[in-house]
Amino acid sequence: MKTQAGFPVFRATMLMSLCLALFADLGCGGGSGGSNTSTTPPRTTPSTVATPAITMTAAQNGAQVVSLTTSTVGASIFYTLDGTTPTTSSTQYFAPMLISSNVTVNAIGALSGWTNSAAASQVFSTNAAQGTLVWSAEFTNTTGANAQPDPTVWTYDTGNGGFGNSELETYCAWGSTTAPCDAAKLNAYVGIDGYLHIVARNPSSGVYTSARMKSQGLFSFAQGRIEARIQMPVGQGLWPAFWLLGNNIATVNWPACGEQDVMEHVNVQSPDWIEGSIHGTNLNGGIKYYGPTGTGFLASDWHVYGMVWSKGSVSYYVDSPSNVYATYTNTNLASGAVWPFDSGSGAFVLLNLAVGGTWPGSPDATTPFPSEMLVNYVRIYAN
């Protein structure tokens, strides 16, 4: 208990503390001459993310490639296709997406510390009939010289990091001059013959170059039928592939994003075969196609390799969608397996020719270089 003589000192001290705590911004104390040396920052209202813009580029037979953008730097976009209002738990947008059915696209922009944007909305009434061609890359070339694959659709993985498979090649982009890439000896180009050429080269002992083309960030689709007409090289250590990866690989990584291998082939096979596979979290499956008994299937011949992607199902075929040789479904999955193909985020397309790696092993003296994977077209049809 304070003595009577000490009470005024206590009271003055308490009042000064209250003054400093509650009215510092009014200059009520502190500092010589009563000047204010402490200010409280003014309160600010969070900025609002700009409403996404929805733009369209015509595909084929009424289908549209839809792009979502926002002018707010660093913001993410989330969308729905069923008319509901999107939230930050909705599907995240990563790339222009093919729309070939009746849907309503609603989209918002979001950024940490900012207020979410208002929703943008666009109704699409494309509803293409099953089997209708809705998008294609035909690799036509009328320039009279080897041409760059369409840069609005195709970009490249580059470098020689092994790509998770201990591959030996350095992947080169169009026109790259970074050694061992050589702009005079392209690894990917559209020839005057109207084919996409993906070329594996052996510029010096133990050095290999090739190309891994992808539509990541430029074009994607979710569900439908996709096929490519391909002629593959055959040789020890060669690994051509036509496949897809989930757009959300940017946020969930592999294998959670899902991988759909429409066609893979390695080495010299007898009897010859290709394989269609799926991959996801604790989800792995691969089935080989040898062709009808006695027909002598050869991967070095021209063939059409396709996938039918429906909700809960992925099927692979050769030459005709009536010739399905492998089907995977989301039923009866192994314990811990996750089916990643119905997330709604879509997938992008890859075409590549690897050299070496854990599956085919290394090339040897019998391996032909240069070796080419030729692609006549890539086409997508409505389911």
Q: Which two tokens stand for residue 246?
A: 């989930």
Dist. CA 159–CA 203, nearest whole Å = 15
Residues 266-290 pLDDT 10s: 999 999 999 999 999 999 999 999 9
By three-state DSSP, how is residue 361 classified? coil
Dist. CA 335–CA 14, nearest whole Å = 66
Confidence (pLDDT) at 295? 77
Would you name the residues annotated as active-site residues?
259, 264
Q: Which residues pair with 299 in a beta bridge?
A: none
Dihedral (Cα; 264, 265, 270, 271), 10-degree rounding: 30
Dist. CA 61–CA 67, nearest whole Å = 18
By three-state DSSP, how is residue 376 classified? strand
Kindly give, in sequence order, each residue whose CB lies less than 8 Å from that of residue 122, ignoring residues fewer than 6 positions away. 54, 56, 66, 104, 105
What are the CA-CA distances from residue 339 to residues 86, 264, 278, 287, 335 (Å)?
A: 23, 21, 10, 17, 12
DSSP string, 108-159: EEE-TTSBPPPPEEEEEE--PPTT-EEEEE-----SSS-B---TTT-EEE-B
What are the CA-CA distances from residue 354 to residues 179, 281, 308 (Å)?
A: 18, 24, 25
Per-residue pLDDT in tens (0 to 9) along the chain, 383 residues: 433 344 333 334 433 343 334 334 434 333 334 444 455 555 556 799 999 999 999 999 999 999 999 999 999 999 999 999 999 999 999 999 999 999 999 999 999 999 999 999 999 998 899 999 999 999 999 999 999 999 999 999 999 999 999 999 999 999 999 999 999 999 999 999 999 999 999 999 999 999 999 999 999 999 999 999 999 999 999 999 999 999 999 999 999 999 999 999 999 999 999 999 999 999 999 999 998 876 789 999 999 999 999 999 999 999 999 999 999 999 989 999 999 999 999 999 999 999 999 999 999 999 999 999 999 999 999 99
Neighbours of 178 (CB within 10 A): 12
Residues 194-249 pLDDT 10s: 999 999 999 999 999 999 999 999 999 999 999 999 999 999 999 999 999 999 99
Confidence (pLDDT) at 293? 73
Task: For residue 62, count CB atoms less than 10 angstroms from its CB and return exposed for 0-12, middle for 13-18, buried for 19 or more.
Answer: middle
Amino acid identity, residue 104? Answer: T
Provide the percentage of residues in the chain whose pLDDT is more than 90: 85
Dist. CA 292–CA 298, nearest whole Å = 12
**Cα torsion angle, 355, 357, 359, 360, sign:** positive
Asked whether 184 and 207 are in contact (CB, 8 A), the reply is no
Amino acid identity, residue 338? Answer: V
Element (H, E) at 205: none
Amino acid identity, residue 77? Answer: I
Q: Which two tokens stand for residue 107?
A: 């989209």
By three-state DSSP, how is residue 103 classified? strand
Q: What are the helix (H) ranges across the chain?
A: 7-22, 249-252
Q: Please name the fold of domain 53-125.
A: Immunoglobulin-like (2.60.40)
Question: What average pLDDT does the structure give for the chain?
Answer: 90
Asked whether 134 and 66 are in contact (CB, 8 A), the reply is no
Angle (CA) 159 165 170, round 5°? 20
Confidence (pLDDT) at 46? 75
Q: Which one, of 196, 198, 166, lies nearest residue 370 by Cα? A: 198
Asked whether 128 and 63 are in contact (CB, 8 A), the reply is yes
What residues does each domain of the chain span? 4-34, 53-125, 133-381
CA 122 to chain centre: 23
Q: Please name the fold of domain 133-381.
A: Jelly Rolls (2.60.120)
Q: What is the pTM (predicted TM-score) of this model?
A: 0.87
Confidence (pLDDT) at 39? 59
Asked whether 86 and 106 are in contact (CB, 8 A), the reply is yes
Confidence (pLDDT) at 296? 83
CA 272 to chain centre: 31
Dist. CA 292–CA 294, nearest whole Å = 6
By three-state DSSP, how is residue 24 classified? helix
Task: For residue 34, count CB atoms less than 10 angstroms from its CB and return exposed for 0-12, middle for 13-18, buried for 19 or more.
Answer: exposed
